[in-house]
Structure 1
Amino acid sequence: MMNRTEVAPYESHCVELLLEKLDAYIFTYDIQEDLLRIHRAMGDTTERILEGYLQGLRKIQFGSVHPDFVEPLSLLITGQTTESQEMLIDPSLEPKGRYRWYQVAIKLIRDEAGRVTGTQGIIWDIESSTGQSDQAFARFRSERDSVTGIYNEIGLSKAVNLYIEGQGRDDDSVLLCIMLENFPRLAKEHGKRWGDQLLARICKSVGGLFRDGDVMAHLGEGVFVVFAKDLGRAEVIDAKINAIRHLFRADNMVYGSYGIHPQVGAAYYSEDGKDAGELLVVAMERMKLSIANGKK
């Protein structure tokens, strides 16, 4: 049996083997300087320093990141969203668009005042587990929202139904449909990139009100859906809805000035529906009723 002094070198060796197997890269990104430092975790660990990284990334049409993932990667490494994501990347020294599937995960770097100044993260190869790039990319696009990286309606249905048909069959779960009134108008006035960045921030804030295992989706035009698993008591659900509304109150320092009004509709499993489709129809109807009542 190993003692504690023997365990540390053993664990370090295991981590090294894992990083080598995954063909992992480690990076840090400075937001103010727009500077990325990246190197292989194992093997040739020569560090590359990429100045003006995001500015250049958005200009290069064919290279280190597939065009469909430029904006999601930008939001991730600048800390505007923190959910680990799958992306098509060519991390070679001279990228030529020979993309493979990589998983990207980040951690925020903050200064003494708590402001986010950058990110540090890891990129690892998941091509063998994800499958052929073309097939996996088609599946990704069919199930994920291109801006936030969370599920779209198809992905939501699959994830919710899988849970309901399995371990969640007897749970008291709820599906919440959240419409951000005025968001489409704001996005049109300020431009797509501004709207995408705000959407990613809102996604992170709303998601932070729920548990990691809950299912979240963006259906487009600022309409979010959260399937909260085994939520239980009605007062807990009411507290979640009030927390969502509180995010956009006029006195909220982050979102209060945008004039966004969230409307929420809830559908309860299995009282209101026995699958994702049925629950979504009920939740949207109740959301629309909330909007109508608010205009009277």
Structure 2
Amino acid sequence: MSRFIKLKKVFEPLLIIFITTALISFLYDFYYLLNETAKYETKRYLNEITVKSAKLFKEKINSDLLTVFVLSKYLGSFDTLDGQEAKAAMKKISSEVPFRSLLISNALNGTTYTGNGISIKTDHSEPFEGAQNRDQRVSQVLRDAFNGKDMVALTSPVYKNEKLTGSISGLYYTEDFIQIIEKISFQRLTYYQIIEKDGDLLFQNTSMETTGGFDNFYPFLGEVILDKGFISSIIINDIMKNKAGFMGYKFKDKGYYLSYAPIGINDWYLLAFAPKDSFNMHPGDIKKSALFMIIKIISLFLILILYIIWRQVKYKTVMEQGRIELEALNSKLKIRAENDLLTGLYNKITSELLISDYLETEGKNGRHALFVIDIDNFKNVNDEMGHLIGDRALIDTAAGINDSFRISDIKGRIGGDEFIVLLKNIASDEDIRKKAEDLCRLFKSIKVYNGQISGSVGAAVYPDHGTTYTELFEIADKAMYHSKELGKDGYYIYKINENI
């Protein structure tokens, strides 16, 4: 036993010396191997970052373009693009979208206004030309734009009843695109440019030292010394064919690497620059830090285990939080898309879709009443007392309608002062008369300063008077106008074979 202990005492130090020597030898071998493969690793790293950044940039712009498309659908629900309702809605939304500004153009009268409701004049027709092509598009950089800055417009046409009425554009300044690149690349792209396929520079954060301040990439290629194995014609050919690539070059006695990748938007290309010095390693540094490297490897291994555990816990937390936020955002967007922003009731399009769907599915075997409700002389209220008082009257009317009917009934605002309600599953005609009388009393309870307003109500019954939304609405609308002809401030329930 004593001999074994003695051997152990001799063997263990030798083993430690061997392991230490082997590790130091490994570190030196690793350095030389790294020196040989530095270019390949640099190319792979830069290519990966550049391609991923270009892809993320495209996804970001496409996501914002989808936002513009959703807004164009929403704008199409208004009577006019430059009406008070549309401007008020855009003013509320403009602070919540990612763009620097919104630009709404009315093709019918040539007017243009920003998201905050300010009318402007601009000679830039490019966004609207995209709308005429019935597509969403990203413009080129617009020079000397109306705000005095270079910008890019993400544009979608606006249609109402299949007719082009204008367009809406989300505007980005060129510095906004720089911030987007820095954010999606996590600032790993120290120097970069975005150019067009013809080489013209769009925007950059590169220094004069890196690129010489050229406004076009191709003349710049003629001024640099390319590394062995790189030919400028091959690089240009790659760009013409939408290929990603890599090159090394020397400019003003300094070496650089350049990786390029197509973005997939307007023939734009992302160029990423990296000084070669940032990849250099020196043998003297390895000698000084070899011992510390051993300690760091062990420490790093322990830290890595703790990090993986922490990362898994945090990943689950972040994913759950992201899911909750996404559900909340989807719910918020759905409400904005379906509801009238002033009153909170369903808008015209949603009301028609919900009523049509109900009559075709679960409600097709029941008996229901469709009410069309209109405020009498509402134009006089707006003209004499102002739109704020008129809006207050609309809000109070909507609130009264909401309280007068069940949660399951479909209630909407389909025009300036016109409302619609589907009363589901009526037991008798007495239910219809009672609700119509309730609506008339509702208007008498709404005070406008020292006066009051009145309303006219028309009603049609499913399936007695029609089996589709269109048929019922036409009859109920006629009944409402007939009520007005009888003296307003009342209701009229359509009767079969009666000419009104």
Work out the CA distance in 2 between the residues paired with 1:258 and 1:293: 22
Cα distance in 1 for residues equivalent to 2:470 and 2:480:
15
Preserved contact between residue 340 and residue 347 of structure 2 (Cα < 8 Å): yes
- Closer/same/farther in 2, CA of residues 228 and 140 from structure 1, 3 Å limit: same
2:468 pairs, out of 251, 269, 275, with 275
Q: Of residues 168, 177, 192 in structure 1, which corresponds to 2:363? A: 168
Give the match for residue 477 of structure 2. 284
The alignment of Structure 1 onto Structure 2 pairs a total of residues equal to: 180
Give the distance between the partners of 2:484 and 2:417, measured in 1 at CA.
15
Q: Measure how far apart 1:152 and its partner are.
A: 2.0
Distance 1:192 1:140 in 2: 24
Q: 1:194 aligns with which of 364, 378, 389?
A: 389
Q: Does 1:151 pair with 2:346?
A: yes
Q: What residue in structure 1 maps to residue 408 of structure 2?
A: 213
- Partners of 2:367 and 2:425 within 8 A in 1: yes
Aligned letter for 2:95?
A: F
- Does the 8 Å contact 1:247/1:255 carry over to 2? no
Q: Name 1:245's counterpart in structure 2.
A: 440
CA–CA separation in structure 1 for the residues paired with 2:450 and 2:383:
17
Partner of residue 128 from structure 1, selected from 305, 317, 326: 326
Query: Residues 446 and 453 of structure 2 are in contact (CA less than 8 Å); yes or no, is this contact kept in structure 1?
Result: no
**What TM-score does the superposition give when structure 1 sets the normalisation length?**
0.52
- Look up the SS of the partner of 1:201 in the other structure: helix
Partner of 1:62: 95
Q: 1:126 to 1:195 in 2, by over 3 A?
A: farther
Q: 1:276 to 1:141 in 2, by over 3 A?
A: farther
Which of 377, 388, 411 is matched with 1:182 structurally? 377
Which amino acid in structure 2 is aligned with residue 222 of structure 1?
A: D
Query: 1:36-78: CA deviations, max 9, x gaps?
Result: xxxxxxxxxxxxxxxxxxxxxx99973699999x9xxxxxxxx
User: CA separation in 2, counterparts of 1:63 and 1:145?
Assistant: 18
Distance 1:220 1:59, change over 3 A: closer
The question of whether the paired residues in 2 share the 8 Å contact of 1:199 and 1:222 is answered with yes
Supply the AA of the counterpart residue of 1:231: I
> How far does the alpha carbon of each residue in 1:94-115 deviate from its partner, in whole angstroms, 9 at most, with x for none?
xxxxxxxxxxxxxxxxxxxxxx
Match of 2:455 in 1: 262
Partner of 1:229: 424
Amino acid at match of 1:152: N
Unaligned runs of 5+ in 2: 1-90, 103-115, 117-322, 489-500
SS at match of 1:294: coil
Structure having the larger proportion of residues in helix? 2
Q: Report % sequence identity.
A: 29
The answer to whether the Cα contact below 8 Å between 2:338 and 2:350 also exists between their aligned partners in 1 is yes
Cα 1:256–1:207 shift into 2, 3 Å: farther
Describe the shift of the 1:60–1:155 C-alpha distance in structure 2 as closer, same or farther (beyond 3 A).
closer
Deviation at 1:256, TM superposition (A): 9.5
Q: How far is 1:131 from its partner?
A: 7.5
**How far does residue 221 in structure 1 lie from its aligned partner after superposition?**
2.2
| Counterpart-to-counterpart distance in 2, 1:207 and 1:278 | 24
Q: What residue identity is the alignment partner of 1:197?
A: R
When residues 223 and 258 of structure 1 are mapped into structure 2, their CA distance, relative to the original with a 3 A threshold, is: farther
Distance 2:340 2:382 in 1: 17
Deviations 1:175-206 (A, max 9, x none): 00011112232123333333223211211112
| Distance 1:198-1:132 versus aligned 2 partners, 3 A rule | same
Contact 1:183 1:221 in 2 (8 A): no
Deviations 1:226-280 (A, max 9, x none): 101002211111111111111233xx47469544221111010011111212111
For 1:65 and 1:178, locate their aligned partners in 2 and report how far apart those are by CA, in whole Å: 39
Which string of whole-angstrom CA distances, capped at 9 and with x for unpartnered residues, describes residues 76-96 of structure 1? xxxxxxxxxxxxxxxxxxxxx
8 Å CA contact 1:176, 1:283 repeated in 2? yes
- Letter in structure 2 aligned against 1:287: M
Pairing 1:78-93 to 2, within 5 Å after superposition: none
Q: Is the 8 A contact 1:173 1:227 kept in 2?
A: yes
C-alpha spacing 1:232/1:65, structure 2 compared with 1 (3 Å): farther
